Structure 1
Amino acid sequence: MILSLSMGQGFSRKMLVLFSVLCLGFGLWGCNGDQETAQADVNVDPELEAQILQVIRDNPQVLIDAVQNYQLSQQQAQQEEQQKAAEDFQQQVLTEPQTVIGDSPTLGAEDLNVVLIEFSDFECPFCARAHSTLQTFMAQNSDTVTLVYKHFPLAQIHPQAIPAAEASWAAQQQGKFWEYHDQLFENQDRLGEELYQEIATNLGLDLEKFEGDRQNAQPAIQQDLELAQQLGLNGTPFFILASTETGKFETFSGALDLQEYEEKLAAITTP
C-alpha cells in the first residue's frame, strides 16, 4: 500500500497531524506477530513523511494531547473493568463464598455466614502488625467469623515475599498453614531459606514433601495475585468483610486496631 496524500489534497495541517498520530499510534500501540513484514508492506511517500515530521515539530502539543487522551481512555477502560470485577466479586462473596474461598486456607467458623478475606504479604510490616491484632480478633470471634488468607506478595519491594508464600503453601499441603503462617510473621526479620527450613522442622513436616510442594506452589499464588489485580488492589494488607445473612459488604486496608475490627464486624452483621 502506497500513501501519497499531500497538503494540496485538502488536508489542513491539523488534520495531517491527526493522521500522523494515527499512523504513529499503530506502530506504538499495535501488536503484530510479524512486525518487520508488516512494516515492509507499507511504503510512505518521502514528501508526506517530511510534511508529517514538520507539522509535528510545529505542533508538538497536538501529539502530546493525542497520547494523553489515549492514556486517559485506557485508564478509564481499566477502571471500568476493575469496577465490574469488584461488583461481580462482591456478589459472589455474598452468595457463593465457598467458590471465592476455593482452596485458600481458612480459620474460624465453618458456616461462612461472616467471611473476612485477607490479602497479605509475609514481608509487609503492616501485615505483621495486622496479624498480631487479628489473632486476638479471631480468638474472640472464631465462632462467627471465617478468616480466609489470600496471597498478595509484593515482589517488587519485598524479595522474600514469594519464597515465604511458597513455603507457607507447602506447609498447607500438610495441614500446617496457620502454624507456619504465624511463625513467618513472628520471625519476619529472619525471612529466608534458613528460617523456612527451621519452621518446617519445628512443625514436624515431611521435609521431602515440603521441598517438592514448594516447587509447585506458584500456580496457587499466581491465582491469588490475579484476583488482586482484577480487583485493582495495590497494597497490603487489604480486607474484604461480608455477611451472607445481612448482605452487607465492606472493604478496608491497613493495620487496624482491635476496636476498629470489632466495629466493622458489628456494622455488617447488624440487620
Structure 2
Amino acid sequence: MSLKPSVSNADHTQGNLDAGLVIVEYGDYQCPYCGEAYPVLKELMKEFGDQIRFVFRNFPLSEMHQYAKPAALAAEAAGLQGKFWKMHDAIYENQQFLNENLLLKLAEKLDLNISQFKADIQKQALTEKIDTDFESGVISGVNGTPSFFINGNKFNGGAEDLFQLVRENTINSTKSFLK
C-alpha cells in the first residue's frame, strides 16, 4: 500500500525537510505500542535527524482509547501556538497518566496561552485535521497503530525494525532498497 495523500505542508514534520528519507507515522497518543515506539523514534531522530524527514499523522483509535482524540486535539491546539512537537513529546512521555486534566497541565507546563488553548481545542478545524489524517490512514491501508510509511510505501515492521533499517543502510542504499 502507498501513502495517500503524499506528505505536504499540512503535515507536522521534523528533521530535514529536504531529506531523501521520509518516514510517516500514523499514531494514537493512548496506544501502548505507540508509547513503546516513541523512545525508539526519538533515538532515531537524535541519531539520523539530519537525514530524515519525520511526519506524524493522527490515527486515534477512539473506540478503544477514550483519550486518544482529546490528546490529538491538545497536540493540534499546541501546534497553533508553535508547540506541536513539544506537546506530542509531553503526551507520550506521560502516556500512563493520560486524561483530560493531564492535557491541561501539560499545556500549562509548556507555557501555552491557556485561554487560547481551551478555545482552540474546541475548533472544528482541528477536529477536521485529525479526521483528515485518520481518513488518509484508512485510504493508505493503516489498520493499527503505530503504522509507518517510508518514502510513501507501507513499512511492515515496528519502530525497532525501522531503526535497524535506517542504521544498516546509508541514505543512498535506503533509496535503492525501497525501489
TM-score range, shorter chain: 0.7 to 0.9
**Contact 1:101–1:148 under 8 Å retained in 2:** no
Tell me which of 127, 130, 134 is aligned to 1:225. 134
SS at match of 2:29: coil
TM-score (norm 1): 0.59
Residue 242 to residue 112, structure 1, CA distance change in 2 (3 Å): same
1:240 aligns with 2:145: no
Residue 87 to residue 234, structure 1, CA distance change in 2 (3 Å): closer
Aligned amino acid, residue 268 of structure 1: T
Tell me which of 160, 167, 170 is aligned to 1:262. 167
**Contact 1:237–1:253 under 8 Å retained in 2:** no
Question: Kindly, what percent of the aligned residue pairs are identical?
Answer: 34
**Contact 1:107–1:146 under 8 Å retained in 2:** yes
Task: Please report how far the alpha carbon of residue 112 of structure 1 lies from its aligned counterpart in structure 2 after TM superposition.
Answer: 3.9
Give me the whole-angstrom Cα distance separating, in 1, the residues matched to 2:110 and 2:2: 40
TM-score (norm 2): 0.87
**Contact 1:236–1:253 under 8 Å retained in 2:** no
Deviations 1:198-236 (A, max 9, x none): 111111101111111111220000000111111221100
SS at match of 1:116: strand
Residue 190 to residue 226, structure 1, CA distance change in 2 (3 Å): same
Query: Between Structure 1 and Structure 2, how many residues are aligned?
Result: 173
Deviations 1:57-94 (A, max 9, x none): xxxxxxxxxxxxxxxxxxxxxxxxxxxxx4573xx74x
Residue 186 to residue 155, structure 1, CA distance change in 2 (3 Å): same
Tell me which of 243, 252, 269 is aligned to 2:156. 252
Greater RCO (CA < 8 Å, at least 6 residues apart): 2
**Contact 2:41–2:159 under 8 Å retained in 1:** no
SS at match of 1:101: coil
**Structure ID, larger Rg:** 1
Aligned pairs for 1:37-186 within 5 A? 86-87=1-2, 89=4, 93=6, 100-186=7-93
**Contact 1:236–1:254 under 8 Å retained in 2:** no
What root-mean-square deviation, in Å, do the aligned CA atoms of Structure 1 and Structure 2 show?
2.1
Give me the whole-angstrom Cα distance separating, in 2, the residues matched to 1:264 and 1:127: 24
Aligned amino acid, residue 151 of structure 2: A
SS at match of 2:160: coil
Aligned amino acid, residue 232 of structure 1: G
Give the ranges of 4+ consecutive aligned residues of structure 1 lying more than 3 Å apart after TM superposition.
86-89, 263-267
Structure 1, unmatched stretches of 5+, are 1-85, 94-99, 244-248
